[in-house]
């Protein structure tokens, strides 16, 4: 039970002109005291020291929204030697914390992930030098008028890996299965 509680995060993201400019990830059940990690564009990350490059490339993905397209994408990445192992967790905030701690190289989320799941984590991750896009490498938009679901999927990467390698390794046929990407193809 404690392991699942540690995956709980409270996320607060602030976007301006459709892009995240600040984010807070609060992890209330971290150890005995909880912790808060935050970032403001141009001011760095606070509350955590991002880990240096790691020898293993671990992908963290959804525990509760695993679909066949996610499994197929992960299999394709393994075939190309971009993934050493896959771990499943709940919560977008927790998955990105795993990247910042050096426990993972990538986050691969399902299309069930919402904008309120990604705005704060994108602000924090990019302030640390990482990257977060849809699975085609396009920036997510946080304007009030956009759809709330991230229907193009979500791919987040640690600062020490090449995001574009991961994006290009996902087969176009899998990308085309996602509504947002299919509509723009």
| pLDDT tens digits, 103-122 | 998 888 766 789 999 999 99
Output the pTM of the full model. Answer: 0.91
pLDDT score, position 181: 61
pLDDT score, position 183: 62
Strand pairing of 35-40 and 19-27? antiparallel
Annotation: binding site: 117
Question: Domain of 31: which CATH number?
Answer: 3.40.190.80
Tally of domains in the chain: 1
Least confident stretch, 9-13, 98-102, 147-151 = 147-151
Burial class (CB in 10 A: 0-12, 13-18, 19+), 142: buried
pLDDT score, position 174: 83
Give the residue, 97 or 108, on which the prediction is more confident.
97
Annotation: binding site for Mg(2+): 117
pLDDT at 156 over 90: yes
């Amino acid at each position: 039970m404690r392991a699942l509680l540690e995956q709980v995060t409270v996320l607060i993201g602030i976007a301006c002109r459709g892009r995240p400019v600040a984010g807070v990830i609060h992890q209330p059940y971290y150890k005995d005291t909880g912790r808060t990690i935050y970032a403001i564009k141009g001011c760095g990350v606070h509350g955590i020291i991002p880990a240096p490059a790691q020898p293993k490339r671990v992908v963290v993905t959804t525990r509760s929204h695993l679909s066949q397209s996610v499994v197929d994408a992960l299999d394709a990445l393994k075939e190309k030697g971009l993934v050493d192992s896959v771990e499943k967790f709940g919560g977008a905030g927790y998955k990105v914390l795993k990247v910042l701690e050096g426990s993972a190289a990538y986050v691969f989320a399902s299309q069930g992930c919402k904008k309120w799941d990604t705005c704060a984590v994108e602000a924090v991750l990019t302030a640390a030098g990482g990257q977060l896009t849809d699975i085609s490498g396009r920036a997510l938009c946080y304007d009030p008028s956009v759809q709330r679901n991230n229907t193009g999927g979500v791919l987040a990467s640690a600062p020490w890996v090449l995001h574009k390698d991961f994006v290009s390794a996902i087969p176009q046929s899998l990308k085309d299965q996602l509504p947002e990407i299919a509509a723009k193809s």
